Amino acid sequence: MYEILKTVNSPEDVKKLSSAQLETLAEDIRAALFNRLTKIGGHCGPNFGIVETTIAMHYVFDSPKDKFVFDVSHQSYPHKMLTGRRNGYINDDCFKEDSGYTNPEESEHDLFNIGHTSTSISLATGLAKARDLKGQKHNVIALIGDGSLSGGEALEALNFAGSELKSNLIIIVNDNQQSIAEVHGGLYYNLTKLRQSNGKAADNFFKSLGLDYIYEENGNDIQAMIKALQKVKDINHPVVLHINTQKGKGFELAEKNREAWHWCMPFDKDTGEWKITFPAESYTGLTTEYIMNKAKTDKDFVVITPAMPMTAGLSADLREKLGAQYVDTGITEEHAVAMASGIAKAEGKPLIVTNATFMQRTYDQVSQDVCINNNPVTILLNYASCVGLTDVTHLGIFAVSMFSNIPNLVVLAPTCKEEYLNMLDWSVEQKEHPVVIVMPGNAVTSRKADSDFSQINTFKVEKTGEKVAILALGDFYQKGEELAMQIEKNLGFKPTLINPRFASGLDEKLLNDLKVNHQLVITLEDGILEGGFGYKVAAFYAPSAMKVKNYGLNKEFYDRYNPDELLRKLGITSEQITEDIRKLI
Amino acid sequence: MYEILKTVNSPEDVKKLSSAQLETLAEDIRAALFNRLTKIGGHCGPNFGIVETTIAMHYVFDSPKDKFVFDVSHQSYPHKMLTGRRNGYINDDCFKEDSGYTNPEESEHDLFNIGHTSTSISLATGLAKARDLKGQKHNVIALIGDGSLSGGEALEALNFAGSELKSNLIIIVNDNQQSIAEVHGGLYYNLTKLRQSNGKAADNFFKSLGLDYIYEENGNDIQAMIKALQKVKDINHPVVLHINTQKGKGFELAEKNREAWHWCMPFDKDTGEWKITFPAESYTGLTTEYIMNKAKTDKDFVVITPAMPMTAGLSADLREKLGAQYVDTGITEEHAVAMASGIAKAEGKPLIVTNATFMQRTYDQVSQDVCINNNPVTILLNYASCVGLTDVTHLGIFAVSMFSNIPNLVVLAPTCKEEYLNMLDWSVEQKEHPVVIVMPGNAVTSRKADSDFSQINTFKVEKTGEKVAILALGDFYQKGEELAMQIEKNLGFKPTLINPRFASGLDEKLLNDLKVNHQLVITLEDGILEGGFGYKVAAFYAPSAMKVKNYGLNKEFYDRYNPDELLRKLGITSEQITEDIRKLI
């Protein structure tokens, strides 16, 4: 098992292998991928598809002298195995040693910690520029998937590379004819024509940007890839090496269903069944249901997901049902937001759904294209919580801090199923405000909720008490409920419990009223404190005698943490907060 | 004077004019442009160049039924004159009625308030999508300059339009062979080839994205443009109409020096001399000097300006002197930031300079490409102040709020010339932190300053006092000095005056020490309060007895305001703050 892979301690060892051994190495890598992915899950299709190319890259180039930048780096598992990190794949005790992305802390062969798309070419132009300033000579190689090409950052960089960088830069476009879901955009028709013509089709997108261009049909053939890479090694100008690969190659299920196997949970190797039981009810499921019903009854309603349909549970058959009322813009968050502004201006009802972390791309579009124009766009953020995505590159804990300080934007933080659905429908229907809604990260809970949110920044008093008021926002509302009980039990009085609902502004009247028989306000929020909700409350009371204590996450790039442990460490438990309160009052 | 223009009260009136009258209308519009621009300044070259095209657009299409979206909308003056707003150009008393950009509050012919680049195509696809959902029939027309094409948002939208929108969308690419400075990117070689071949060159960039394409050489010929637009009117799919125009057409100085006359201050029509005296010393001038000296002595130092060289005072001759140590990436803020991260990773010393408002495009790149990787990139923000750019689309008052809540990022707010230059040099030289520096918006002042900022978040006590501590950040430091004097004079004690220097974190030791003999902390900052510096201070003291009062701007889209008046209205004067303090202590 893994006999050749076990001989590879560094890329130098790859170069010593015969053709036959390289083939065995590919088999070993696939077996190692299965080992890790069946047991802990991760990015699947991208890694199976890139095995041969990665072997060829390490055979031809000399990393770390030559520099590799992997776009998204979700396809870097084979690279990790060949750069001293095979144990993270073949030894079950070592899985945790490796992140799912390139990581300079793990190896000198990894240049950047990357998890968002479309960044590799820009980063690589920077490496090349510094190399040139220093008079060094080495190859800089960016590997980017066809799906990532549609992102603005990648397109900007291609245009730049096409004329401004007149030195070595090798851009490997890994064309597996798939984004996360299917690809979207005119560019992909061009790639198709190029594949069909063995790279000779007219109106070559890359050449139109001034880039040199080479096509290699057999991206899953080690020897073909070695030859292709030898052709571009040490080239003295930017070149695109467009390669054709099969996403999921060597794993039949992933070859057949590329969308479902882009990323996976732990699974049974034989059946492909995921070893996880989903709760009967989830906020994603509720979202899917809402969308499908709404679309049926309202022809102005349109859902936009920039390449992430599954964040709204929109499988291929549901997307087809939605027809013109569904738009996958491809990986283009900026365009998606501006397009939604146009739709809203023309009295459509646009709903954008995607992961919070990817919406970081859109601060300016939300501010300028949407909010200055006050167009009623609804943006639904998945995983804007400390629960969910815990890789440092995918954190959703910055979203409320980023969005809630943009003027005109209403940021809603629902606390239960009813409130979530009511907020969603209210937002889609109203015409006064751009709205961001934070999809809860908690398990689904049920309570009565209001359905009209047009009185912006009105908080809801859920339990009236004294001395201490708890403002428990969104996902942390249930922690507020728990805390209220803990206080009553341990401190002997009933505190006031408030559901703020609005993360982007204050209910000043209510906050003033609290001064009468409260001396301390506690804020709880599921995100970083700086720039967030609690600090607004603190600043409001700062000139007064009211004390405030904010609970939330620090401004920090947490990485692969256990959410419960993290919250305990930060003192965000009913017990610890009750102790803090005891000292403060 | 303006005889034909005075007959045009709406686009309907344009359609009634003869060919000869249309030519006279163009002359009238140019005379009106001169009238406004010589007296109050504004965007010059873009408007002179687009006169004929705008007349033809209103002749052929039926605004507001047909929808026009102008990219940046800095070329919308002729459009405004033809849509009932000529008085803003020919009647000196009415200049203030019109903003320098499209503005839905002014007219139903303006769809969006726009000031950032590269948004028009996305916005237009949204208008088209809503039209299609509603089963309406009208034309949607986006007009975009060649310079704006390189921005990621525009490129994403072109790719989308090339295959996903299968209905009417007319994209007029106004190719005047110029961005603000010269254009940069491979795409521009393609445009050149297309112009030289009358649109027939191989590897057509637009066709590569699946777009239909038509070329019109005579973009400054009304009749030619009318014919060209008639060809695309009511088309049933997206089309690019690539037109060749002359930037600054009809104003000789602007034709000759396109960069200098992109935008202008009030000027003498005959000599072109600007009616303004620049101060002998400016922070921009100091920056230029620093850059030129640094580049000479340090070959690793490289300056990057995404299409805005003049924000660092880098005129064409200075750029040439800098050679490989200067990079204009074109309008590509995202790429610029990621590229800088690559340069820093490879031990170059990158300095990015541009206007704060445009860096809103880069929240995600700063967070992911730079800060997660902790690469020592320096970003210098021009106009991150309530002084300077006061158009709603160009406000710099959000920058500190946006940037200062990104982990690992050090945001520096200098208070005088010496501190500014020391911070700049310290940042470029150090290897530990990504840094944002806020270029002061004030007139240049001089004081002694430290030169080492490696002890992150150490505030500087400038005057030791009692009772009240003033934390006066960056540009508002001088207001802090004034306030300290006012307090001493009117309240009879000496307050403590602190220069925080760091906007992104707190000197907790110092803040704790203040508790001993202070009861009130005043914070002053030149930006919005929410998400900003003062709120961090308020939250720090919130559980204690220390009172805090924050002074800064509201979370609001201010538009064309007088900074002094605004600050007075917000109570940010020594007199008003002193009165507040009297009540609080």
Residue A289 distance to chain B (closest CA, Å):
21
Pairing of β A547-553 and β A496-499: unpaired
**What mean pLDDT, rounded, does chain A reach?**
97
Closest approach of B329 to chain A, Cα-based (Å):
6
pLDDT above 70 covers what percent of chain A?
Answer: 100
> Residues in chain B, how many?
585
How many angstroms away from the CA of A538 is the closest CA of chain B? 5
Determine whether the interchain pair A150/B156 forms a contact, defined as Cβ–Cβ distance below 8 Å.
yes
C-alpha–C-alpha distance, residues B39 and B6, integer Å: 20
| Interchain CB distance below 8 Å, A544 and B547 | yes
Q: Are A55 and A25 in contact (CB under 8 A)?
A: yes
Respond yes or no on whether ipTM tops 0.90.
yes
Cβ pair B338:A122 closer than 8 A: yes
Measure CB to CB from residue A407 to each of B329, B346, B557 and give the nearest one: B557
Identify the pLDDT of residue A501: 98
Which amino acid is located at B247 in the chain? K
Does residue A32 register a pLDDT over 90?
yes
Mutate to test the interface with A, among B368, B522, B581 (most CBs of A within 10 A): B368
Are A211 and B153 within 8 A, CB to CB?
no
Interface test with B, best of A102, A212, A368, A521 (most B CBs within 10 A): A368
Is B184's CB within 8 Å of A202's CB?
no
> What's the rounded Cα separation, in Å, for the pair B279 and B276?
10
> Would you state the pLDDT for residue A558?
98
The proportion of chain A whose per-residue pLDDT surpasses 90, expressed as a percent, equals 97
Q: Which residues of A touch B185 (CB under 8 A)?
A: 159-160, 162-164, 209-210
Which tens digit of pLDDT belongs to each residue from A322-381? 999 999 999 999 999 999 999 999 999 999 999 999 999 999 999 999 999 999 999 999
Closest-CA residue to B473 (of B520, B524, B510, B528)? B524
| HSE-CB of B189 using CA atoms within 13 angstroms | 16
Is the pLDDT assigned to residue A77 strictly greater than 90?
yes
Determine whether the interchain pair B372/A300 forms a contact, defined as Cβ–Cβ distance below 8 Å: no
Beta bridge partners of B304: B327, B352
Q: Report the alpha-carbon distance of residue A217 to residue A215 in Å, rounded.
A: 6
DSSP per residue, A437-455: EE---SPP------S---S
Q: Which of A552, A495, A512, A511 is nearest to A528 (CA)?
A: A552
Query: Position of tokens 């002042």?
Result: B445
**What count of residues does chain A have?**
585
Judge whether residue A269 has pLDDT over 90: no
Chain A residue with the nearest C-alpha to that of B210: A186
pLDDT at residue B270, as a whole number: 87
**Per-residue confidence (pLDDT) for residue B208, from 0 to 100:** 98
Q: What is the pTM of this model?
A: 0.98
* Best of A106, A122, A171 to mutate (most B CBs within 10 Å, chain B): A122
* Residue contact A122–B369, C-beta within 8 A: yes
The pLDDT of residue A180 is above 90: no
Chain A: give the shortest CA distance to residue B346, in Å: 6
pLDDT at A270: 87
Please judge whether A538 and B534 are an interchain contact, meaning their C-beta atoms are less than 8 angstroms apart: no
Mean pLDDT (whole number) for A18-29: 98
Min distance B45 CA to chain A CA atoms (Å): 24
CA atoms within 13 A on the CB side of B25: 31
HSE toward the beta carbon, residue B417, CA cutoff 13 A: 13
Residue A103: its chain B contacts at CB < 8 A? none
- The verdict on a CB contact (< 8 Å) between A535 and B536 is yes
Pick the closest to residue A420 from A286, A281, A278 (CA basis): A286
Pairing of strands A238-244, A212-216: parallel
**Longest CA span, chain A:** 82
Distance from CA of A113 to the nearest CA of B (A): 6
Cβ–Cβ gap B125/A373 under 8 Å: no
CA B124, CA B235: separation in Å to the nearest integer? 15
Contact A302 B133 (CB under 8 A): yes
User: Which two structure tokens, joined as six digits, stand for A173?
Assistant: 């476009």
**CB-CB under 8 Å, B159 with A130:** no
Instruction: Give the model's pLDDT for residue B276.
Output: 85
Q: Which residues contact A492 (CB under 8 A, 6 or more apart)?
A: none
State the DSSP string of A82-142.
IIIITHHHH-GGGGGGS-SS--TTT-TT------SSS-HHHHHHHHHHHHHHTT----EEE
Q: pLDDT averaged over consecutive 10-residue blocks of chain B (585 residues)?
A: 96 98 98 97 97 98 98 98 98 97 98 98 98 98 97 98 96 93 93 98 98 98 98 98 97 93 93 89 97 98 96 96 97 98 98 98 98 98 96 98 98 98 98 98 96 98 98 98 98 98 98 98 98 98 98 98 98 98 96
Pairing of strands A378-382, A518-528: unpaired
According to DSSP, the β-strands at A460-463 and A496-499 are: antiparallel
Helix, strand or coil for residue A73? coil
User: Given an 8 Å threshold on Cβ–Cβ distance, is A350 in contact with B126?
Assistant: yes
pLDDT at B472: 98
Structure tokens at A573: 């438990």
Counting one residue from chain A and one from chain B, the pairs whose CB atoms sit within 8 A come to 419
CB A251 within 8 A of CB A34: yes
- Whether residues A126 and B339 touch (CB distance < 8 A) is answered with yes
Residue of B179, B211, B535 to mutate for A, most A C-beta atoms under 10 A: B535
* Residues B428-464 as b or e (16 or more Cβ within 10 Å = b): bebeebbbbbbbbbbeebeeebeeebeeebbbbebbe
* Closest-CA residue of chain A to B358: A364
Q: Which residue among A189, A361, A405 places its CB closest to the CB of B531?
A: A405
Nearest CA in chain B to A64: B346
Compute the nearest-CA separation of B190 from chain A (Å): 6
pLDDT band at A181 (very low <50, low <70, confident <90, very high): confident
Separation in Å, CA of B549 to nearest CA in chain A:
5
**CB-based contacts of A10, cutoff 8 Å, min separation 6:** A82, A83, A84
